[in-house]
Structure 1
């Protein structure tokens, strides 16, 4: 039996035949496509050419098309909507969650936005406008607002009747939040606990206090970390007066963590974060994301040549210095990046905090001294074997020791300092740290050799 990956690949490679159904293979693959999960169909649409994206989506049954549309990347969604008639557009945007519309409407023109807003119901339109007013990385922008809640004076019997009547229209999660008559959150109740209690029991007697209340302007990454810490499937979003506004779900947490981790990876490689997938991003956008860092680091790196030029006389007399320059500089960059990666990861997982940052720094200094001692032993043997000059070997080995210790200390301090000033620690990783250590390594190397070798 073919694996799902092979099936999807075969569908992608024969998408034109599937759309036209002009041969047996195309007809068979179309039937197979209809049996796939909406997320897999969306993945296929994201990966194929634009003209096929639109035609394949139009060919899908309406009910399946709505489910698939939610999983498609926003730029592709916007393009598909622009090629549908008004009835199909209205069907889609009135069926998908308001939180999904918020992200979609960031990628369409003002003219289209005005047109689509007119198709929405008043309640949806107000909710959408409200969500768009929050900062893009806040809990308010991420929350699901169309969520069913119950009042504390309800009985179990009345609550179940309300659920049966309203569930098709509103989102229902395993955890149901309880409010007072003023929509102020007072607690929650798990669905299984609701159905296991006697019908006449008031909710106020069996509800529990929420472990976590998320304010509407709280950063989404902080919310995701707190929900992961408390192992929550959902968390209520409130305003300053504790009015219930919506919820953040575990699915939102997965998306937030994936987005934040991807953003950190791009920053650590010296690139601006990509908003969409690689193939959905225009070539010129990819170029613009990389160029600023590369030019900046190029100019910064040129300081190394200026430093070497100032020690030109010594270098010309001791050619062995140039032979081992790259070995020392490369080692410094490597150990610095190791420390920076540990700190950045620790800050992300909250294992490292402002309270224990000094403790980690002291531990890393100890580790640096041990690593430097071991590496220098091998370095000393390597240099002496090549030069048979004890004085030069001592100068190079001492330089290596100082470079390693400096790299580890900087690799630890810089991310901690950036976090202290509420800046993303990922900016401190390679290639920035590597370039910085190249410059400092050259300074240390030349200075030590000049003092020992003269």
Structure 2
């Protein structure tokens, strides 16, 4: 990039363009990350027209916004017309309203209509991520006619690997692969080689469910229809990879008790980061007051046997960690559709057996440590170890159940992750601990 910037500064634009042409469009977009704001537009204008739109589609949000705000109306029009529609919609969703108006003003009437239609679909729905640039065929065509038609219009389509066969009124009747067309005789009719058993989704289907279909059926593209099974668009694998990345990021943030955000960490302001974190931290802090109230309630027990206090952190930490292990596995299983709502009792039974084994092993090791090495009173050692066993049992079963319950009530299972599970288990561990101490030590 230093070499290219030097060419630009010396007004050697042809040399700069040749240097950029040597690279893949994705790598060129990455190079723009190294360019300061003052030079982004200068370098972008050096790009040849045939690759400028492709590079633009792979750029980061901030750079795309900076370029759009700096280009002339004619330059914006060229980019919009060269971009695939779904890429255009993606970056328009990130822009402020005044910039969106300017972009739409410079798009052709047909492009503008399609963009406005796609922008009206709910966020995270199939309609919001689909493209309308696909190959549609008529079932009355011969294979020879179909191939000629694909050669004529295919250059402007996002993919030609799968073609969509439409009947009257644009009803989707089947699909046919380009491989099937090439390997079939020229005079065969399309209706005789189409596949009528195919997967499709509605425009309002959630994008996370669609990602699951791509994984399950090894799809490269999926047709999107309206309520009358009329084809309105397709979703391609490149968009689904973005969806998977977005959903995984969102789940990680929720599991860490933060509000989801699409913005890059280093480009997000301190105030925004604080705002995303503070609400959940307040909720968890207030819920932790229950733990304090439990300790106050059993204050007499602690005053009678002060040594009990020393084991509280260990019990709470172990219980929280045990619950987090289970919830993480179940959340992953739900996300990959390896576990369903109907499996709740199987999960309970499995986690009960796992926690029994883990609880016994940890309780025995802990007993040896505190009784034989730390010379703690026998009854106190027994109290701690029995509490540890039941805490692990409860934590793992709760960690397995709560994500499934969340899914049942249409909530994101990721909410029931480490912070929330830990808070619940902490309170439960203290109740078990002090109740066991009161009973065994007769306090």
TM-score (norm 1): 0.91
Asked if 1:409 is matched to 2:390, the reply is no
1:20 match: 9
Q: Secondary structure at the match of 1:324?
A: helix
Unpaired runs of 5+ residues, structure 2, are none
| Alignment partners' CA distance in 1, 2:216 and 2:77 | 40
1:393 match: 381
Displacement of 1:15? 7.8
2:440 match: 452
- 8 A Cα contact 1:18 1:29, kept in partner: yes
CA separation of 1:283 and 1:39: change in aligned 2, threshold 3 A: farther
Query: 1:271-420 maps to which residues of 2 (within 5 A)?
Result: 271-384=258-371, 385-420=373-408
2:111 match: 124
Query: 1:71-110 maps to which residues of 2 (within 5 A)?
Result: 71-110=58-97
How many pairs were matched up?
A: 441
1:267 match: 254
Displacement of 1:32? 5.3
CA separation of 1:122 and 1:22: change in aligned 2, threshold 3 A: closer
Displacement of 1:31? 6.2
- 8 A Cα contact 2:323 2:418, kept in partner: no
Displacement of 1:43? 2.4
- 8 A Cα contact 2:324 2:421, kept in partner: yes
Displacement of 1:270? 0.8
| Alignment partners' CA distance in 1, 2:3 and 2:344 | 55
CA separation of 1:22 and 1:120: change in aligned 2, threshold 3 A: closer
Displacement of 1:408? 0.5
| Alignment partners' CA distance in 2, 1:49 and 1:448 | 64
1:422 to 410, 418, 430: 410
| Alignment partners' CA distance in 1, 2:305 and 2:31 | 61
CA separation of 1:22 and 1:383: change in aligned 2, threshold 3 A: farther
1:436 to 419, 424, 433: 424
| Alignment partners' CA distance in 1, 2:15 and 2:310 | 65
Structure 1 runs of 4+ aligned residues shifted over 6 Å read 27-31
Q: Secondary structure at the match of 1:441?
A: helix
Displacement of 1:303? 2.4
Asked if 1:234 is matched to 2:221, the reply is yes
- 8 A Cα contact 1:156 1:201, kept in partner: yes
| Alignment partners' CA distance in 2, 1:346 and 1:237 | 27
| Alignment partners' CA distance in 1, 2:315 and 2:402 | 21
Displacement of 1:219? 0.7
| Alignment partners' CA distance in 2, 1:443 and 1:78 | 55
- 8 A Cα contact 2:84 2:158, kept in partner: no
Displacement of 1:169? 3.0
| Alignment partners' CA distance in 1, 2:333 and 2:91 | 34
TM-score (norm 2): 0.94
Displacement of 1:18? 6.4
